[in-house]
Amino acid sequence: MAGEVRDVAGSKATVAGAGAGVSPCAGCRLLRRRCSPDCVFAPYFPADEPHKFANVHKVFGASNVNKLLQEVAVAQRSDAASSLVYEANARLRDPVYGCAGAVSNLQRQIDILSAQLALARAETLRLRLRLHHAAHLAGSSAAVQLSAGSASSSAAAATASDADGKQSFSPAMFMEPHSIGQPMWSC
């Protein structure tokens, strides 16, 4: 009986240091059972984060989580436990849609931002056309530098001229070289 001594009254008392520093994992603590060294919950639900296991237990049940973790390869158990925690938290936040609600909200944000980006690109193109038209009306024969770098691929593209020597419109003047062939708006 290592770690136990009998006091004067004859009752058992645990010797300090003999197992006193080991606390059960959050799963075993919530389930009120002894945490064994080979406990499947211990590596993924530490004692200092009891809310994680409490939420997972509330949504999925301890028995189901235990079965799932034992069926998954040891190398993937950490990811599985992390996913269970995320899904349980999402289900508690949104009991109807859970993770699907979060994904739907993110997809809606992507759609809104894509539409805003398309509008910004269209406005940029409109302003470039206006600038080109103003330069053409002013009779400027010099190359119009639209922006530094790749926005105007070369001075030759910016000074495309027709048979009369006048500056003519060239879509290459307004397209970035790496975006040619790509759709202007994508969802």
Q: Assess whether pLDDT exceeds 50 at residue 143.
A: no
Asked if residue 8 and residue 85 are part of one domain, the reply reads yes
Q: In terms of residue numbers, what domain contains 146? A: 112-179
Same domain, 86 and 128: no
Predicted local confidence at residue 178, as pLDDT: 59
Same domain for 17 and 88?
Answer: yes
Asked whether residue 130 falls in the same domain as residue 81, the answer is: no
Instruction: Give the pLDDT of residue 22.
Output: 67
pLDDT at 85 over 90: yes
Note the pLDDT tens digit of each residue in 46-80: 999 999 999 999 999 999 999 999 999 999 999 99
Contacts of 183 (CB under 8 A, 6+ apart): none
184 falls within a domain? no
CA 37 to chain centre: 34
Pair 27, 78 in one domain: yes
Has residue 120 been placed in a domain? Answer: yes
Which amino acid, 125? L
With bands split at pLDDT 50, 70 and 90, how would you rate the model's confidence at 133?
confident
Rg (CA), the chain: 34
**Residue 74 maps to a domain:** yes
Average pLDDT over residues 98-117: 94
pLDDT at 158 over 70: no
| Domains in the chain, number | 2
The pLDDT-based confidence of 171 (bands split at 50, 70, 90) is low
Q: Are 80 and 70 in contact (CB under 8 A)?
A: no
